[in-house]
Structure 1
Amino acid sequence: MAEYETKLRHQLMFGPAAIVAQGTIADAFASYLAKAKRPCPADILRIGKLNAQIGDLSLREPKRAWETFRLANLTGHAPGGQDRYRAVFQAAINTYYELHDLPPLKIKAIPFDNERVRFLTKEDRDRLIASYAPHVQPIITMLAFHGPRIQTALQMPWGVNGVDMQREAIRLNHSKNAVIQSVPMHPRVKEMLLPIWEKQGRRMKGHVFLNRFGKPYQDTRLSRVPGGNPIRNQHKTACIRAEINDFTIHDWRHHWASHCVMAGIDLITIMHMGGWKSLRMVQRYASVGVDHMRAAINKLD
């Protein structure tokens, strides 16, 4: 009874914070998973590891709990991987805090270099696209001229929710940021997709892109243990054929954004077409435009 009276006294004196302090990190993870509509399978694995290590610790000092886990388990991880653990931990804590009307917790992000910008010349672009296997070339053409992430492209359906050949538009479901944008179809992409659409009977549903066995590509985002890129080997082979070095599949997204800047498209439009959530995430491409203008001005006699 004395312990119960003490808890009630703390709740009256300190409000929701006292209730939260009585919970554990595991309670926060449970709240987060209950609220999430479709949590990433990789994040579920991260939560499992976090919960096993620090789930029984009190919510009084979540930052100390995080540092305990990070120092014991993540010191050998790449900074980007560490920050993903931090992000899901912070999201879980803040879900619990929100339920109890408390201000959100902010844990300092793990700094890592996410500023890579790699793009090809138009000549190298066309040579590399031609070096892919025929069934992969339409996929790469979409990456080069619309800039989606690889799984967004591979899982693209026919119809108004994907590739709409009748309206000559593409609805890009940027699921990573929960952003959906419908954009006009680039002529090069239409040229590649029209024969596929005709061959498949002008259908308005089903996957646009199929592998060499005529089956849809696996959506690795839904795997319990996320796999690699389904066309990684084809990309590696194409780069060797085209003699292109240091160019990843994701670099096609950088290539698209960089060429948008060089074509004079403003960063706000690029942000919306590419599905980025903030202007800060596309500002890395601004310097590409400056370099391009410098090269152009230097051509004047």
Structure 2
Amino acid sequence: MLSIRTRGKHGIYYIRGSVGLGKKKIIVKEFSTGTSDPDAAAHLMAEHETKLRHQLMFGPAALVAQGTIAQAFDSYLTKAKPPCASDVLRIGKLNGLIGDYSLREPKQAWEHFRRAYLTGHDPAGQDRYRSVFQAAINVYHELHDLPPLRIKAIPFNNERVRFLSKEDRDRLIAAYSPHIQPIITMLAFHGPRIQTALQLQWGVEGVDMHEGSIRLNHTKNAIIRSVPMHPRVMDVLRPIWEKQRRPTKEHVFLNRFGKPYQDTRKAKIPGGNPIKNQHATACQRAGIEDFTVHDWRHHWASHCVMAGIDLITIMNMGGWKSLRMVQRYSSVSVDHMRDSINRLS
């Protein structure tokens, strides 16, 4: 049975006890009703007992029946590891349109959101909304011992693989402004996403010049990997480190004003590549076409495959979450071998 008692000088009512049904029982730890009105407190106690009995009778499904999509978003946003700023914005859009939907109908809620808001969005953008929506629902499900929800992914073409020859690579790197060249060298020989590179700091949590290693914080997938530093990267970073008097913290890369680059992942409206214009100018100077800043990541992974590095190692070094994401590069080795065979005379 639940019981009610007052505590404190204001006479606030508290509820505690247990609720049973047959051999099943739920222990209720003491909690405040937030009121000193005995009738209101009694009403709250009766209402809470009814919910618990309903849960005992119908199992975990009863919790879903009582919840809303908005509650799932609250659970997701209060996790130990908060989501990135772009996911917070997406949740805001989702919550505004479907937050009032019952948790019994997550797929119906998702379809309503797609029709109401995502018409005209590219498939990759739609899938990012789907991914964060599914993750939020599953955080709530996990908290309440419910099975996970699966919403079919939005199909999109994510198979682009663009890489340069070693000669084109070096010509393009040389075409960048001098303060950009170390950043691009990092992209070419370690393959991080651009913001992962720009936000690197000196020391054991980032670029460790003493150990010759780099700890890459792949924030998109919440993966942090420490990898050996490539000699080319060591060669361009050492002068910067020496010039800054061998720091053990602070940003590695600074803009032309000597300031750290803005982390656009944390901006109110994420997006914008701070070296996009410099990249376009460098490509024009080097005569390189159809090559984006992100393509340096494809370039790195492709050359890893051609160097004989296995896909699992590439996945771990590059911070991909699944092997499926790097399997696109496997065909590169076939083309590379064909090219090598054709050179035989």
Question: What TM-score, normalized to structure 2?
Answer: 0.83
Partner of 1:212: 256
Partner of 2:93: 49
Shift in Å at residue 300 of structure 1?
2.2
Match of 1:116 among 160, 175, 180: 160
Shift in Å at residue 37 of structure 1?
2.4
Find the residue that maps to 2:78 and give its secondary structure.
helix
Deviation digits for residues 247-297 of structure 1 (CA, Å, limit 9, x no counterpart): 111100000000011111111111111111221111110000011011112
Which one has more relative contact order, counting CA pairs under 8 Å at least 6 apart? 1
Match of 2:175 among 131, 134, 141: 131
User: Which structure 1 segments of 5+ residues have no match?
Assistant: none
Partner of 2:69: 25
| More divergent stretch after superposition (211-220 vs 55-64) | 55-64
Partner of 1:64: 108
Aligned residues: 301
Letter in 1 for 2:185: T
Shift in Å at residue 177 of structure 1?
1.7
Partner of 2:126: 82
Q: How has the CA–CA distance of structure 1 residues 14 and 245 changed in structure 2, closer, same or farther, with 3 Å as cutoff? A: same
Match of 2:325 among 269, 277, 281: 281
Find the residue that maps to 1:138 and give its secondary structure.
helix
Q: How has the CA–CA distance of structure 1 residues 278 and 4 changed in structure 2, closer, same or farther, with 3 Å as cutoff? A: closer
Take 1:31 and 1:98, find their aligned partners in 2: how far apart are those partners?
10
Find the residue that maps to 1:176 and give its secondary structure.
helix
Task: Determine which structure has the larger strand proportion and give its number.
Answer: 2
Question: What TM-score, normalized to structure 1?
Answer: 0.95
Take 1:10 and 1:203, find their aligned partners in 2: how far apart are those partners?
61
Deviation digits for residues 75-97 of structure 1 (CA, Å, limit 9, x no counterpart): 11000111111111111111111
Deviation digits for residues 145-197 of structure 1 (CA, Å, limit 9, x no counterpart): 11111111101111111111122221212122222222221111111111111
Shift in Å at residue 7 of structure 1?
5.8
Are positions 1:181 and 2:225 aligned together? yes
Computing the radius of gyration from Cα coordinates, the structure with the larger value is 2
Shift in Å at residue 13 of structure 1?
3.7
Partner of 1:100: 144
Take 2:80 and 2:270, find their aligned partners in 1: how far apart are those partners?
19
Take 2:47 and 2:319, find their aligned partners in 1: how far apart are those partners?
52
Deviation digits for residues 91-129 of structure 1 (CA, Å, limit 9, x no counterpart): 111111112111000011111111110000111101110
Partner of 2:341: 297
Take 1:7 and 1:111, find their aligned partners in 2: how far apart are those partners?
41
Take 1:39 and 1:80, find their aligned partners in 2: how far apart are those partners?
19
Find the residue that maps to 1:245 and give its secondary structure.
coil
Find the residue that maps to 1:218 and give its secondary structure.
coil
Take 1:5 and 1:51, find their aligned partners in 2: how far apart are those partners?
29
| More divergent stretch after superposition (196-205 vs 103-112) | 196-205
Match of 2:310 among 253, 266, 269: 266
Take 1:23 and 1:109, find their aligned partners in 2: how far apart are those partners?
25
Take 2:157 and 2:130, find their aligned partners in 1: how far apart are those partners?
16
| More divergent stretch after superposition (127-136 vs 273-282) | 273-282
Letter in 2 for 1:121: S
Are positions 1:157 and 2:206 aligned together? no
User: Which structure 2 segments of 5+ residues have no match?
Assistant: 1-42
- Superposed CA RMSD in Å reads 1.8
Partner of 1:144: 188
Q: How has the CA–CA distance of structure 1 residues 3 and 145 changed in structure 2, closer, same or farther, with 3 Å as cutoff? A: closer
